[in-house]
Structure 1
Amino acid sequence: MEIKQKLQALKTLFSEMETALIAYSGGIDSTLVAKVARDVLGDRALAMTAVSPSLLPEELEDARIQAAEIGIAHELVETREMENPNYTANPVNRCYFCKSELHDTLKPLAREKGYPYVVDGINADDLQDYRPGIQAAKERGARSPLAELGISKLEVRQLSQLLELPWWDKPAQPCLSSRFPYGEEITVAKLHRVGRAEVYLRKLGYNTLRVRSDRDTARIEIPAEQIQSFIAAIDLPEVVKTFKDLGFVCVTLDLEGYRSGKLNDALLKA
């Protein structure tokens, strides 16, 4: 199916839904879903963003701006996954407990507001990765239009570009809890620390990156092809000072380079 045909299929799917409440993070996937839903359904589409310590304030602001630009109604709701010890203990299925909290919060709200189900931004590529949160969403009756139509991450970007969305090339930004190795307890303070470290590096011009946190050690991941220029161009003592001011004891650079989902490598060795 060509990209324009997939766009039409997505529009048809929303037309058949008649209403849509979108679990909207402000990432490129859920924003595309929100855009098409708004185009097809008008005021019968609602974007709802879950607010918690694992969402950067800057990402929340992006979500607000993008929702306003595409014209969709946008509401916020607080989720409390940090109150669940099954989540904060950071087991390998941590994401299951996160998405359980999300959909256990959104589903009754959707029913109250007259929406038969919640729609998310899961794409076809996500189904090939280790994503225990997908199961939690399925168990609670959520629909995933991108995955249902076989739309990949690359096609999400192509569709976003076709629709002239200015953030079509926005880097992926999963929740901050994904920065910690499985088994390390997650706290609000740790989430804040790693979040501020990433924002600091983005302000230096590095948009595709992760700051992995292992206890009090920060490991900076940037694309492998940028490592040499990073070392040459950045004031490394200032970076170290900034990270230590945030509470890190040791600051390292991953010479393998950035790779999404790298912490899942430990599961393959288990």
Structure 2
Amino acid sequence: MAENREFAHLIDLLKDAPGVAIAFSGGADSAFLLAAALIAGVKSILPVTVVSAFFTAGEKDRVIRLGQYLGIAPVFVPADILDDARVTRNTDRRCYFCKLFLFSKVMEVAKKHGIHTLLHGANLDDLKEIRPGMDAARELCFKAPLVEAGFSKKQIRACSKILGLETWNLPAQSCLATRIPQGDTITREKLVKIERAESRLHGLGFDQVRVRCQGDLARIEAEPGELQRFVAPDVRQEIIHAFRCAGFSSVCLDLGGYAPASGMFL
């Protein structure tokens, strides 16, 4: 199986490192990278999770569960990303400034622990997309061993399933800031509204879903095959009630369905 070759290469890349700090979000990529570092026998492994306003309570819970499963405690670092005006202005460089801010926090923690090798979980598929955050990672000298070993997202999921990681079939993730139109100022109020609304949708069984914030209007994007579920009377009423409680005055369903980084939402 192709994954075996890539996995062996990944272990070779990691095994001689005296210590590594991993930007650990708890997503499929960073979870797999952490597991691989443990299997490789890296002597000192520091999973660093930066907790900001873009990081949801559900994501933090998953990081804790993964740490327990893998037998290693992540280091949580609180950081107020909303203090950085370059991020909150929400220009086409938001992702770059955000990653620069967050990865700098990882670097600071690593230095305090005497670790100089910094890793993040980018994979080959990420190279095909416009990801300004990758520039920030390179500038701060973060290495991407999954790219170097030749891992695609599909291969990461396949290997993660074998390793028993709960993230093997985790739907595609993106930070809460991507739900706010480019050019609209990012505020804590908007982020809280979005997180509450999406959390309720997840509770109703909608996994791959986004709540796009357009002022007081919430626009829901979901998988095309799930759109019919939204019009069921009990589900529709529950969503309307939950979204109003979250702070939205109106809610609509995008008939085009879920689309990563769609339109002005980058």
TM-fit CA distance, 1:73: 3.2
Query: Is residue 134 of structure 2 the alignment partner of residue 145 of structure 1?
Result: no
Q: Does 1:179 align with 2:179?
A: yes
- For the pair 1:110 / 2:113, whether they are aligned, the reply is no
Q: Give the alignment of 1:76-115 within 5 angstroms.
A: 76-115=76-115
Q: Does 1:31 align with 2:16?
A: no
| Residues 34, 72 of structure 1: 8 Å contact kept | no
Q: Where has structure 1 moved over 2 Å in runs of 4 or more?
A: 232-235
On the 8 A contact 1:43/1:73 being kept in 2, the answer is: no
Task: Work out the number of aligned pairs and report it.
Answer: 266
Question: For the residues of structure 1 that align with 2:114 and 2:263, how far apart are their CA atoms?
Answer: 39
SS in 2 for 1:192: helix
TM-score of the superposition, structure 2-length normalised? 0.95
Alpha-carbon distance between aligned partners in 1 of 2:174 and 2:63, rounded to the nearest angstrom: 14
In structure 1, how many angstroms separate the alpha carbons of the residues matched to 2:152 and 2:263? 22
The secondary structure found in structure 2 opposite 1:31 is helix
Q: Please list the CA deviations of residues 138-159 of structure 1 after superposition, one character each: whole Å capped at 9, or x if unmatched.
A: 0000011112222111111011
Residues in 2 aligned to 1:86 and 1:3: alpha-carbon distance in whole angstroms: 40
**In the alignment, which residue of structure 2 is the partner of 1:71?**
71
The residue aligned with 1:13 is: 13
Conservation of the 8 A alpha-carbon contact between 2:14 and 2:42: no
CA offset digits 1:24-61 (Å, max 9, x no partner): 00111100001111222355111110001111011101
Residues in 1 aligned to 2:43 and 2:76: alpha-carbon distance in whole angstroms: 17
> Normalization by structure 1: what TM-score?
0.93
Matched AA of 2:235: D
Moved more, 112-121 or 82-91: 112-121
Q: Is the 8 A contact 1:54 1:176 kept in 2?
A: yes
Report 1:1-270 matches (<5 A).
Answer: 2-41=2-41, 44-232=44-232, 234-263=234-263
Structure 1 residues 192-214: Cα deviation after superposition (integer angstroms, max 9, x where no partner) = 11001011001001111111111
Give the letter for the 2:17 counterpart. Answer: M
How far apart are the structure 2 equivalents of 1:154 and 1:32? Answer: 12
RMSD: 1.6
Deviations 1:158-216 (A, max 9, x none): 11012222331011221111111100111111111100101100100111111111122
Letter in 2 for 1:58: G
Give the partner amino acid of 1:98.
Answer: C
Cα-to-partner distance string for 1:44-83 (whole Å, 9 max, x where unaligned): 1111100011110111011011111011231111223210
How many Å separate the matches in 2 of 1:108 and 1:205? Answer: 39
Q: Which whole-Å CA distance do the structure 1 matches of 2:169 and 2:95 have between them?
A: 25
Aligned mates of 1:164, 1:62 — CA distance in 2: 14
How far apart, in 1, do the equivalents of 2:108 and 2:242 lie? 43
Q: Whole-Å Cα distance in 1 between the matches of residues 166 and 54 of structure 2? A: 25
Unaligned runs of 5+ in 2: none
> 1:21·1:45 contact (CA, 8 Å) conserved in 2?
yes
Distance 1:34 1:52 in 2: 21
Structure 1 residue identity aligned to 2:191? L
User: 1:13: Cα distance to partner?
Assistant: 0.8
Residues 164-173 or 187-196, more deviating: 164-173
8 Å contact from structure 2 (residues 16, 42) kept in 1? no
Deviation at 1:234, TM superposition (A): 4.6
Q: What secondary structure does 2:212 align onto? A: strand
